[in-house]
Copies of this chain bind each other. A is one copy, B any other.
Amino acid sequence: MHFSLGIDFGTNSVRALVVRCADGMEFGAAVANYPSGKQGVIIDPRDHNVARQHPGDLLACMERCVKEALGQAARRKGFRSSLIVGIGVDTTGSSPIPVDASNRALGLLPKWKKNPDAQCWLWKDHTSWQEAARITELAAKHRPEYIAKCGNTYSSEWFWSKIWRCLKTAPDVFDAAYSWVEMCDWVPSVLCGVEDPLKIKRGICAAGHKALYCDEWGGLPDKKFLSLLSPKLAQLRDRLYDKAHDANTAAGQLSSAWAAKLGLPVGIPVAIGEMDVHYGAIGSGIREGTLVKVIGTSTCDCAVVPASKKVKDIPGICGIVKGAILPGFFGIEAGQSAVGDIFKWWIESVCEGSDALYASLAKEAATLEPGGSGLLALDWNNGNRTVLVDPMLSGLLLGTTLHTTKAEIYRALIEATAFGARTIIERIEAYGVPVKRIVCAGGIAEKNPLLMQIYADVTGRTMLVAGSSQACALGSAVSAAVLAGVFKDFPAAQKAMTSLKDIEYKPRPAARKTYNRLFALYQKLHDSFGGVNRKADLSGVMKELLAIKSQSRK
């Protein structure tokens, strides 16, 4: 009997999952909330763009929840900690951490402990939007191939933007950092006791999607290009890495120190770290033809195409990276910068509601007909990641009257995210990546049947739901099991360890017809405000909404 351990570092908490390799049964699961900042995120009331994370939270909370999960498992028959064959880790990203020459995160050192710039620069930190724009500009001019695979736009959420920003605004931190390590690479390196940043096994997933790494051009961006940003960034390149690895490679073996701390066998393999949604895609049963949507505060969409096939660059897609997600496949990632966050904004922040309001709005919104409110929204409250790749876009709500209700607005916001989801699917398919099956994972996929039905109606596709509520941690555990040799490859491990829930959301033809009309209007607004169409005729939008509204009442 084999077990593997998946550890999933989210935005506000870390969770540990003990899984039986034979059938994916969860023997233990625990969560630990980060204590620092606001729900684990260090913010700056003067600048909404700031989002940092204390590295000490990561380690302390990991230790706590792993122990708790192991304790839970130990109360079940057939489990002993010595049966754990491997560990997999996934984290948010791009969340780079400045480290010293001994691979200690600066944020752990007394000198830097209280300096927000010396902490982990969390994925949703958007302070470096100007740097991102400049990188896009420079790459477009000098290295167009660099950004062709990430939708021709480099993001403020990504590795180089953040490090460059740090160099500009906190040069003392930059100078103190020997290297910078993605959270998904750093945690495994700590577990394996790696004390030299140059010896960290870095994953292709974060490297390829966030740091412009590609084997084709020799790894990270070349020094000449980096020196266009700053000579100091060119120098930093020597203290990063030359080669990134897919999930067939181990990050290392569990160190005796951490084995003792966690009560696990010394030397078991630790899988290469991947970003949460990528292991989440594995835990949701990703394969060729399947789109996995991890729907939470934001949404990530993942697809894979066999490495033997030719994949075109897809404009506006966050990344196409060989070896990301599954070894032997191109990994394709897209996403929406805010989904659950938009509902949270509306219900908790604007309407000042609690769980009860979520429930009552959901109930009321479920009684509304598609198009019945006359509302249309753009899901850009946190910018647009795919397909416009523009964090400087913002939300829009159109069609309000003196009778518009908060439930109608809630439903319009759900519909807006569904239109955003459809836009992504259509873009991927337009460039030759078929979407034959959609599996949704994440809290919203499980808890919001209204949203799932709207997604089915808007996209015209059946929405399936991943079997595990911890798809990311499960995917990490799958990777650990493959690495430990329990399975011959990922497909075999996925077959044994992952599943689907019984429920299926099927598109309803009448709703779909109405949503097709609304989606046409959404596209008009999308293209107009997104800059795709600079000669937009929007004169009919409000009237078409009224026409749809009056017809929805028949």
- Binary interface encoding of chain A residues 77-115 relative to chain B, with 1 for a CB under 8 A from any of its CBs, else 0: 000000000000000000000000000000000000000
The answer to the question of A351 belonging to the interface, with a C-beta cut-off of 8 Å to chain B, is yes
Min CB distance A534 to B, Å, is 4
Min CB distance A549 to B, Å, is 10
Would you call A397 and B394 a contact (CB within 8 A)? no
Would you call B538 and A535 a contact (CB within 8 A)? no
The answer to the question of A48 belonging to the interface, with a C-beta cut-off of 8 Å to chain B, is yes
The answer to the question of A398 belonging to the interface, with a C-beta cut-off of 8 Å to chain B, is yes
- Binary interface encoding of chain A residues 385-413 relative to chain B, with 1 for a CB under 8 A from any of its CBs, else 0: 00000001111111111111110010000
Given known pairs A381-B401, A396-B396, A401-B382, the reply for A539 and B546 (CB within 8 Å) is: no
Would you call A402 and B382 a contact (CB within 8 A)? yes
Min CB distance A435 to B, Å, is 28
Min CB distance A407 to B, Å, is 10
The answer to the question of A345 belonging to the interface, with a C-beta cut-off of 8 Å to chain B, is yes
Q: Within A524-554, which residues are at the interface with B (CB < 8 Å)?
A: 528-531, 534-543, 545-546
- Residue from the set A48, A530, A537, A542 with the largest chain B CB neighbour count within 10 Å: A542
Q: Within A334-373, which residues are at the interface with B (CB < 8 Å)?
A: 338, 341-342, 344-345, 349-352
Question: What residues on B are CB-neighbors of A342 within 8 Å?
Answer: 402
Min CB distance A345 to B, Å, is 5
**A543: nearest chain-B partner, CB-CB:** B392
Question: What residues on B are CB-neighbors of A402 within 8 Å?
Answer: 338, 341-342, 344-345, 349, 381-382
The answer to the question of A374 belonging to the interface, with a C-beta cut-off of 8 Å to chain B, is yes
Given known pairs A394-B546, A396-B397, A400-B394, the reply for A406 and B350 (CB within 8 Å) is: yes
How distant is the Cα of A545 from the Cα of B529 in the complex, in angstroms?
A: 12
Would you call B394 and A381 a contact (CB within 8 A)? no
How distant is the Cα of A545 from the Cα of B398 in the complex, in angstroms?
A: 17
How distant is the Cα of A545 from the Cα of B396 in the complex, in angstroms?
A: 13
- Number of A residues near B (Cβ < 8 Å) is 46
Would you call A399 and B395 a contact (CB within 8 A)? yes
Would you call B394 and A398 a contact (CB within 8 A)? yes
Min CB distance A128 to B, Å, is 15
Would you call A409 and B538 a contact (CB within 8 A)? no
How distant is the Cα of A409 from the Cα of B539 in the complex, in angstroms?
A: 24
How distant is the Cα of A399 from the Cα of B48 in the complex, in angstroms?
A: 15
**A529: nearest chain-B partner, CB-CB:** B538
Question: What residues on B are CB-neighbors of A338 within 8 Å?
Answer: 402
Question: What residues on B are CB-neighbors of A404 within 8 Å?
Answer: 345, 349-350, 381, 395
**A46: nearest chain-B partner, CB-CB:** B553
Q: Which of B349, B529, B539 contacts A541 (CB 8 A)?
A: B529
- Residue from the set A393, A538, A546 with the largest chain B CB neighbour count within 10 Å: A538
How distant is the Cα of A249 from the Cα of B546 in the complex, in angstroms?
A: 44
Question: What residues on B are CB-neighbors of A403 within 8 Å?
Answer: 48, 345, 349
- Binary interface encoding of chain A residues 373-386 relative to chain B, with 1 for a CB under 8 A from any of its CBs, else 0: 01000001110000
Would you call B397 and A400 a contact (CB within 8 A)? yes
How distant is the Cα of A528 from the Cα of B374 in the complex, in angstroms?
A: 19
Would you call B528 and A542 a contact (CB within 8 A)? no
Would you call B394 and A396 a contact (CB within 8 A)? no
A residues bordering B, Cβ < 8 Å? 48, 338, 341-342, 344-345, 349-352, 374, 380-382, 392-406, 409, 528-531, 534-543, 545-546
Mind listing 29 A-B residue pairs with CB under 8 Å?
A48-B403, A338-B402, A341-B402, A342-B402, A345-B402, A349-B404, A350-B406, A352-B406, A381-B401, A381-B402, A381-B404, A382-B401, A392-B543, A393-B542, A394-B398, A394-B401, A394-B542, A394-B545, A394-B546, A395-B398, A395-B399, A395-B401, A395-B404, A396-B399, A528-B528, A529-B541, A529-B542, A536-B537, A538-B538
Question: A394-B546, A395-B400, A395-B404 known; 15 other A-B pairs, CB under 8 Å?
Answer: A48-B401, A48-B403, A341-B402, A345-B404, A351-B352, A352-B406, A382-B402, A395-B398, A396-B396, A396-B397, A397-B398, A528-B536, A528-B539, A529-B542, A534-B539
